[in-house]
């Protein structure tokens, strides 16, 4: 199958030229996103070897004159293929790398192998790589999805373990919106850098697969953690939501909306900490500051305005965060039903209650925090920044809850992604694919475990909820508790 990324790269080229004229974003891009500056050698059209300075940013390479930092031309590297090479010429070796696809490419040469390694180290995170098998040893399968399988792998050079998502290009191309979803995930994850968001290490592509090399976290997801612990203490839940809100504050400041926050998409960093996690799966995310209309997300977590087909914005993530807070405090979801339709109905009505016995020990400020995050009216719903100033999260209140001071955050120091330097504003997924994923990706259907002796509400509240993804098993769900 032909390269998916090559098609995108051609869209950024003009008149089939590798080097493009400069645009108005140059000064800002270099000022905010400069990564590396070094000398390289290139062949001119007359086959002469010329030395030039090159500036590397997150999305581009700028060509300058020799011994100058003033750019004269540029090329967008986001979708370009990177191929390192060695050439044996007489008694010496030449080291270099190629960027692009035939016939639109450029060969670059370095003086030494060390210089080549430095360039490859920087470029490999920003471009598309080709030969996965030379860089990683596959250990075992650790997950499987619709058109992707995730493997645990070890980088051959560093011996660091990664999770690699193998995406079947043939299957993906026949799934409506499948290609767009993957491209959406790649372009967003390449640009974000935050301690509580999963990092994309590299992207590879061959004839049959796209490979996403991701951080490997050993703690499992939040869903698995809740199966083990049932729920968190109030002080732990407060620290948990602070980290989630800090992450959303960062994303929303970068005009990124996740749209699918749920326990399966929060990966716990370790087995010991309940408050340290990383947000993953940006397949449904979008990059834009304007309102959206596409109906997507997961039943039980989607904001009411999405279900009601109303325009929405970044506040949909805040709603999902509030649902997650409800779940980690109680061990159960607020919207329950025997099938997806019933859950969506409760989700749309959005009436959260705290009648169960397990809420008796939760402070009024904690309950108010949940209601502030899940207000059905998005204009009255708190933003991430506002929520971080809620009285429940003040240090004095946390001390009353019997927990140590919250750690200092340094969110302002994190890299903000430069959305203006992306060659397109947003990759829209087809509405049919969105709706399909909305219905099929039902990851939270309450399955109340009934006891023959009919336990009291207090005993029921202590029981863990069972998360299922198979729609056929929804008939077993029970909605006796409210």
- Where residue 402 falls among pLDDT bands split at 50, 70, 90? low
How distant, in Å, are the alpha carbons of 88, 448, 456 from that of 453?
Answer: 80, 14, 9
Last residue of a domain, one of 57, 89, 120: 120
- Residue 395 CA to residue 405 CA, distance in Å, equals 6
Whether residue 416 is predicted with pLDDT greater than 90 in this model: the reply is: no
291 and 387 together in one domain = yes
137 and 197 together in one domain = yes
Q: Is 350 left (phi over 0), alpha (psi -120 to 50) or beta?
A: left
39 CB-near residues (< 8 Å, 6+ apart) = 51, 52, 53, 54, 66, 111
- Residue 102 CA to residue 83 CA, distance in Å, equals 12
Annotated binding site: 165, 264-265, 281
Whether residue 462 is predicted with pLDDT greater than 70 in this model: the reply is: no
Q: Is the pTM of this model over 0.85?
A: no
Whether residue 429 is predicted with pLDDT greater than 60 in this model: the reply is: no
The reply to whether omega before 103 is within 30° of 0 (cis) is: yes
- Residue 378 CA to residue 316 CA, distance in Å, equals 8
457 and 353 together in one domain = yes
DSSP string, 444-460: --------TT---HHHH
Last residue of a domain, one of 149, 183, 215: 215
Does residue 127 lie within any of the structural domains?
no
- Residue 143 CA to residue 358 CA, distance in Å, equals 34
Whether residue 407 is predicted with pLDDT greater than 60 in this model: the reply is: no
- Which residues are known to be catalytic? 260
Domain count, the chain: 3
61 and 10 together in one domain = yes
Does residue 269 lie within any of the structural domains?
yes
239-279 pLDDT, tens digit each: 999 999 999 999 999 999 999 999 999 999 999 999 999 99
- Which alpha helices (H) appear in 205-233, and where do they start and end? 222-229
Does residue 125 lie within any of the structural domains?
no
Does residue 435 lie within any of the structural domains?
yes
Whether residue 324 is predicted with pLDDT greater than 90 in this model: the reply is: yes
Q: Residue 294 corresponds to which tokens in the numbers above? A: 């596409």
Lowest-confidence pick of 41-50, 78-87, 297-306: 41-50
295 and 373 together in one domain = yes
Does residue 28 lie within any of the structural domains?
yes
176 and 30 together in one domain = no
Q: Note the pLDDT of residue 435.
A: 30
Whether residue 461 is predicted with pLDDT greater than 80 in this model: the reply is: no
Annotated binding site for ATP: 165, 264-265, 281
Query: Does residue 365 or residue 397 have the better pLDDT?
Result: 365
366 and 238 together in one domain = yes
330 and 358 together in one domain = yes
417 and 438 together in one domain = yes
Q: Note the pLDDT of residue 85.
A: 95
Domain of residue 28 covers 4-120
Whether residue 419 is predicted with pLDDT greater than 80 in this model: the reply is: no
State the CATH number of the domain containing residue 203. Answer: 3.30.200.20
């Amino acid at each position: 199958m032909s390269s998916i990324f090559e098609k995108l790269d051609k869209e950024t080229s003009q008149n089939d030229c590798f080097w493009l004229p400069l645009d108005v974003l140059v000064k800002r891009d270099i000022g905010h996103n400069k990564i590396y500056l070094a000398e390289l050698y290139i062949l001119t059209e007359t086959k002469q070897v010329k030395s030039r300075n090159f500036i590397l940013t997150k999305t581009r390479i700028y060509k300058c004159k020799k011994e100058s930092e003033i750019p004269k031309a540029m090329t967008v590297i986001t979708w370009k293929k990177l191929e390192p090479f060695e050439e044996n010429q007489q008694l010496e070796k030449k080291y270099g790398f190629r960027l692009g696809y035939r016939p639109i490419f450029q060969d670059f040469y370095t003086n030494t192998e060390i210089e080549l390694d430095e360039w490859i180290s920087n470029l490999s995170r920003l471009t598309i790589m080709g030969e996965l098998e030379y860089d990683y040893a596959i250990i075992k399968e650790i997950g499987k999805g619709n058109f992707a399988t995730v493997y645990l792998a070890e980088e051959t050079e560093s011996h660091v373990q990664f999770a690699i998502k193998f995406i079947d290009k043939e299957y993906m191309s026949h799934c409506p919106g499948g290609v767009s979803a993957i491209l959406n995930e790649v372009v967003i994850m390449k640009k974000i850098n935050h301690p509580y968001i999963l990092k994309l290490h590299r992207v590879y592509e061959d004839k049959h697969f796209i490979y996403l090399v991701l951080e490997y976290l050993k703690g499992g997801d939040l869903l698995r953690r809740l199966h083990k612990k049932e729920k968190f203490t109030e002080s732990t839940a407060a620290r948990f939501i602070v980290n989630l809100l800090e992450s959303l504050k960062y994303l929303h400041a970068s005009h990124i909306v996740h749209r699918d926050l749920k326990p399966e998409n929060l990966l716990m960093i370790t087995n010991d900490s309940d408050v340290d996690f990383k947000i993953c799966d940006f397949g449904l995310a979008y990059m834009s500051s304007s309102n959206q209309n596409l109906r997507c997300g997961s039943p039980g977590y989607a904001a009411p305005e999405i279900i009601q087909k109303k325009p929405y914005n970044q506040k949909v993530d805040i709603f999902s965060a509030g649902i997650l807070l409800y779940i980690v405090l109680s061990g159960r979801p607020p919207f329950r039903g025997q099938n997806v339709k019933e859950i969506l109905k409760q989700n749309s009505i959005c009436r959260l209650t705290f009648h169960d016995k397990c809420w008796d020990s939760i402070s009024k400020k904690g309950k108010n925090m949940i209601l502030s995050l899940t207000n059905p009216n998005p204009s009255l719903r708190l933003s991430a920044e506002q929520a971080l100033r809620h009285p429940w999260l003040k240090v004095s209140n946390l001390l009353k809850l019997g927990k140590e001071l919250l750690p200092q955050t340094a969110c302002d120091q994190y890299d903000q992604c430069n959305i203006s330097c992306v060659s397109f504003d947003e990759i829209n997924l087809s509405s049919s694919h969105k709706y399909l994923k909305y219905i099929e990706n039902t990851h939270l259907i309450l399955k109340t475990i009934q006891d023959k002796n009919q336990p009291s509400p207090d005993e029921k509240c202590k029981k863990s909820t069972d998360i299922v993804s198979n729609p056929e098993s929804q008939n077993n769900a029970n909605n006796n508790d409210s």
